[in-house]
Amino acid sequence: MRVVVAGGSGFLGSHLCEALLRRGDSVCCLDDFSSGPAANTDPLLPLTGFDRIPCDVTARFQVPGDVDAVVHLASPASPYDYRRHPLRTLAAGSRGTENLLELALRHHARFVLASTSEIYGDPQVHPQDEDYWGHVNPVGPRSVYDEAKRFAEALTTAYRRAEGADAGIVRIFNTYGPRMRAHDGRVVSTFVRQALAGEPLTVFGDGGQTRSFCYVDDLVEGLMAMLDSDLPGPFNLGNPNERTVRELAELVLRITGSNAELRRQPLPVDDPVRRRPVIARARAALGWTPRVPLEDGLRRTVAWFATRSYESDTCGALSE
């Protein structure tokens, strides 16, 4: 297969590109390097079967050659990024999704949309299965991301129904691992960076809110299983092992051997109180199940961060 990975130089995208190349697929990475550094995919450039086209998927772009599948990962993903870039985020979910669906349709290619647990908003149903319609504030600070992804899901579904596109949706829950940007504001990268530097860990609110953290290798396996199927989904992809933010902070302190303090900061507006995926559908339909326990995944993540210099943690338009 030749797979177009839009957002392929980002955190998830670069791991996906590597995994596809490892199993013998060709990969064409599209990225504007706004929130994923080129350095994530520079080492792939000499490899046979890999090419990279710097472009903004919300504008005009060309992909020469065959296309057998398209994965749309190109969007700001961390709350810190999308709050600062609301219009870019809405464009990625709307125009970006349309452009990539058109590309897939022209080539009769499989299309997979990387949607998100954020489409459930601040959920009133717990845990969340795919039949839950969500609880999203349409004008709150997170709405640009949540509504862009909800629109992208609707568009993907319409292309499948009205145009016969081989299109499917996965809803990704909080995923972590090597190559997260140290300053992307997400909780795992922030806590690990702070703990390694001996700085206080910034716990928002009372730290009682929960998330369910999936290691990147597991997530990439789920994405590939979805690429290889012709199913519409939507399927939740995540690890149902739910933790409070305070528990995560304590685990990071233990793994890093840090005795830094926890410092309370105000809870951001509309921060979801709890989140845990039901993954029965992905298990049954894709034969997928996450395997890496949080402690193991965090150890690998800490080991990677420990070798980094954060001075160079900048990339393109989203770093200010």
Binding site for ligand UDP (CB under 6 A): 78-79, 174, 185-187, 190, 202-204, 209, 211, 245, 268, 271
Which of ligand UDP, ligand NAD, none has residue 74 at its interface (CB below 5 to 8 Å by kind)? ligand NAD
Q: How far apart are the first and last CA of the chain?
A: 38
Asked whether 75 and 58 are in contact (CB, 8 A), the reply is no
Which of ligand UDP, ligand NAD, none has residue 11 at its interface (CB below 5 to 8 Å by kind)? ligand NAD
- What's the closest the beta carbon of residue 164 comes to ligand UDP, in angstroms? 34
Q: What share of the chain is helix, strand, coil (3-state, %, to 5)?
A: 40, 20, 40
Burial class (CB in 10 A: 0-12, 13-18, 19+), 274: middle
Distances (CA, A) of 240 to 63, 149, 209, 275, 294: 37, 21, 15, 9, 11
9 vs 174 by CB, closer to ligand UDP: 174
- What's the closest the beta carbon of residue 303 comes to ligand UDP, in angstroms? 20
Which of ligand UDP, ligand NAD, none has residue 13 at its interface (CB below 5 to 8 Å by kind)? ligand NAD
236 lies in the site for ligand NAD, by CB under 6 A: no
- What's the closest the beta carbon of residue 253 comes to ligand UDP, in angstroms? 14
DSSP 102: H
Asked whether 216 and 261 are in contact (CB, 8 A), the reply is no
**Which of 80, 82, 120, 145 is labelled catalytic?**
145
Q: Which of 18, 52, 75, 233 forms a contact with ligand NAD (CB under 6 A)?
A: 75
162-175 CB burial, b ≥16 within 10 A, e <16:
eeebbbbbbbbbbb
- What's the closest the beta carbon of residue 11 comes to ligand NAD, in angstroms? 4
Measured from the Cβ of residue 267, the count of other Cβ atoms closer than 10 Å reads: 16
Which of ligand UDP, ligand NAD, none has residue 281 at its interface (CB below 5 to 8 Å by kind)? none
Our answer to whether residue 145 is catalytic in this structure is yes
Distance of CA 22 to the CA centre of its chain: 21
Q: Which of 5, 69, 74, 201 forms a contact with ligand NAD (CB under 6 A)?
A: 74
Cα separation, 114 vs 5, in Å, equals 11
36 lies in the site for ligand NAD, by CB under 6 A: yes
Provide the annotated active-site residues.
145
Give the binding site for ligand NAD (CB under 6 A).
Answer: 7, 9-13, 30-36, 56-58, 73-77, 92, 96, 114, 116, 172, 174-175
